[in-house]
Amino acid sequence: AVAAHCRALRELDVDSCSALSDASLLAVIRGCARLRDVHISDVPKVTARVVTALARSCPQLRTPRLSAATVNVGDAALIALARGCTQLTRLSLAGCASISDRAVVALADACPQLSDLDLSGCARLTAVAAARLCACDELRDVDLDGCDAIGAASRAQLAARIAHAHG
């Protein structure tokens, strides 16, 4: 019902809406193709279906925050997001522990305007992801706190290349 009356909606923040279901969020996303900013953090019922719907329905998306709530979201959904939303500038995936280097490489390859990336708590990431991020021309801020599989040498390379590499 909301989506039918808000087709021009550009921002959606449902952070900490613990009762929100996939079905409700999918209806809004599919009806609001102009979304640019979406915050879906600490929403435990959110699954990969929502991220895939963002990829298919919201090509103008610039700044999704998918932190912590999207623990069920893996590489396939994030690869779809990268391919469907190539204008991403900021992305928070903090606490999305199931993603791997494949998703980060896809984001780096498909989203040349990406300038701010929060990967804190993404413990499966390795030097492969760090090396690919070094080649992102627009990337200015990256958070790798809790990405313990990324060694000191890779972190040093990233810090030398990116203005605010921390973690």
Tokens at 58, concatenated: 């919201």
Query: Interhelix angle for 75-84 vs 48-57, to 10°?
Result: 10
Q: Which pLDDT score is estimated for 7?
A: 77
- Binned at pLDDT 50, 70 and 90, residue 91 comes out as very high
Helix/strand/coil for 145: coil
Q: Which pLDDT score is estimated for 96?
A: 87
User: Which has the higher per-residue pLDDT, 125 or 20?
Assistant: 125
Q: What is the pLDDT of residues 34-85, one digit of tens each?
A: 999 999 988 888 888 999 999 999 999 999 998 765 556 789 999 999 999 9
Q: Which pLDDT score is estimated for 3?
A: 58
Q: What is the pLDDT of residues 147-162, one digit of tens each?
A: 999 999 999 999 998 8
- Binned at pLDDT 50, 70 and 90, residue 123 comes out as very high
Are the CB atoms for 98 and 73 separated by under 8 Å? Answer: yes
Are the CB atoms for 42 and 16 separated by under 8 Å? Answer: yes
Query: Interhelix angle for 127-134 vs 152-161, to 10°?
Result: 10
Indicate the pTM of the whole model.
Answer: 0.91
Nearest to 85 by CA among 37, 21, 26, 139: 37
- Binned at pLDDT 50, 70 and 90, residue 164 comes out as confident
- Binned at pLDDT 50, 70 and 90, residue 163 comes out as confident
Nearest to 66 by CA among 74, 58, 1: 74
User: Which has the higher per-residue pLDDT, 3 or 49?
Assistant: 49
